[in-house]
Chains A and B, each alone.
Chain A
């Protein structure tokens, strides 16, 4: 074989190899751009849907406060606010499945009216509070409980002003403190021994940097009694339209006191109506930006209980489980800061559906 033929053969092989390698390499480099073009329209569409959910009032505009109404068009914005990203307290409360007037995900999905898109809504406070009982000291007339309260976000301490209430039967005591630089504070609560049953330490925290940023936590503990039973054992509380509906689990339940507690104040609630299974109480409209905690104390035979619900009823988590979606679908999350009754919360909406190229 002549040397020139070997040369040509070698050169051609090298050229073909290089051209193929270049094609593969170019394709790899361009793939993110191609994906970007294909998925941008999906993400942009989901973003617009998220904004629509948060900025639209829905139909009827006051659907949140109408307990039996399923909106024909879903939107969470507050109809009485001229500012964007202000959500209605009752619309958010009706997303919570623990409320008897809540909407199911199926109803929400149908009301939203976009059949090829699934969604999930999470509403939560902007930072977390946790409470631990550190020690108990019993004396003749009273027992003193020492608690450690920790305010944090993503493990970083949060400087906050705290307003705590210890509630047992008809006894309420307010305690004020602040977290130190490490996010911790110690709260000492004395409870008279003349009371007994499930007691709760309810703590509201306002961030030092912005009083609109608030978190809360409820810690139940036993006071001269057996271990507290889980919340909602004796009553199911459903606040809506500034009325607290209480459904009694047992006909023998007797209500002792019903309170509304906020960062700044506490009141007894006025009973509106009552029968063997349910009772209704008026919730006052307060100017305080704080979320409200509604607490019921009472008896059921030999048990003394203290149960609670927050208004707005957060945290909320409702919607599709995106972990279970098939690989052909794409899920995108959007985080927004929203106001509910002047307090600020984080809402994370997750959107998914078949991609346009799927």
Chain B
């Protein structure tokens, strides 16, 4: 009778230990907190760059001319080193406008911030474009 009780308690103890260690292992694998401060900075930088490009109409002209190579070259010159970007332009009907990728790297698996910017082009008829700029720190 006593032997049976001891065996059950030993099994209980092993079960408890395995449950607790599983819990510990799970917490260890919890993703670390993202650096919100850096992401906020990135978002502000992205907005400021798009604004600066838009001040004299360069941004609108590059979109209207579908000059995606120049748009990419501008972003390469404006952004500090170590920043990944991917820019997508949508028209009024939220259809993607850029036929070429405007990016410097694949951002898959990287925590990115998204900057949305509305670009208005005043010509004979006004055009609206929504620009989505995804930015991430190179890790």
Contact = CB atoms under 8 A, between A and B. Distances in A.
A142 interface: no
Q: Interface of chain A, helix or strand or loop or mixed?
A: mixed
Interface residues of A, number: 45
B2 A3 contact: yes
Contacts of B80: 335, 346
Interface stretch (A29-37, A99-107, A218-226, A230-238): A29-37
A37 to B, nearest CB: 10
Interface stretch (A165-173, A184-192, A336-344): A336-344
Interface string B51-68: 111011010000000000
A315 B8 CA distance: 78
A33 B33 contact: yes
B38 to A, nearest CB: 9
Contacts of A21: 24
Contacts, number: 99
B120 interface: no
Contacts of B69: 209
B19 to A, nearest CB: 10
Contacts of A199: none
Contacts of A14: 13, 16-17, 20
B35 interface: yes
A82 to B, nearest CB: 10
Contact of A212 (B17, B21, B35, B58): B58
Interface string A25-50: 11001001100100110011001000
Contact of A158 (B51, B55, B77): B77
Interface in B51-105: 51-53, 55-56, 58, 69-71, 73-74, 76-78, 80-81
A39 B37 CA distance: 8
B1 interface: no
A7 interface: yes
Contact of B70 (A11, A208, A338, A339): A208
A207 B73 CA distance: 9
Nearest to B20: A18
A210 B77 contact: yes
A294 interface: no
B44 A47 contact: yes
B41 to A, nearest CB: 7
Contacts of A63: none
A127 B33 contact: no
Contacts of A338: 52
A159 interface: yes
Contacts of A32: 32-33, 35
Contacts of A337: 48-49, 52, 78
A26 B30 CA distance: 10
A84 B77 contact: no
Contact of A11 (B16, B27, B49): B16
Contacts of B17: 14
A287 interface: no
B77 A127 contact: yes
A63 to B, nearest CB: 24
A149 interface: no
Contact of B28 (A7, A25, A208): A25
B122 to A, nearest CB: 17
Contacts of A3: 2, 6
A339 B44 CA distance: 17
B27 A22 contact: yes
A83 interface: yes
Contacts of A127: 77
Given A127-B77, A208-B70, A40 B36 contact: yes
A154 B81 contact: yes
A10 interface: yes
B45 interface: yes
Contacts of B127: none
Contact of B45 (A10, A18, A26, A335): A335
Given A84-B51, A210-B70, A47 B77 contact: no
Contacts of B81: 154
Given A47-B44, A85-B52, A156-B76, 12 more contacts: A4-B9, A21-B24, A26-B27, A29-B32, A36-B37, A207-B73, A207-B77, A209-B74, A210-B77, A212-B58, A334-B41, A339-B52
Which A-B residue pairs are the 5 nearest by beta carbons?
A209-B73, A209-B70, A32-B33, A18-B20, A337-B52
24 contacts: A3-B2, A3-B6, A14-B17, A18-B21, A29-B32, A32-B32, A36-B36, A40-B37, A43-B41, A47-B40, A47-B44, A85-B48, A85-B51, A209-B69, A209-B70, A209-B71, A210-B53, A210-B70, A212-B56, A213-B77, A336-B45, A338-B52, A339-B52, A342-B56
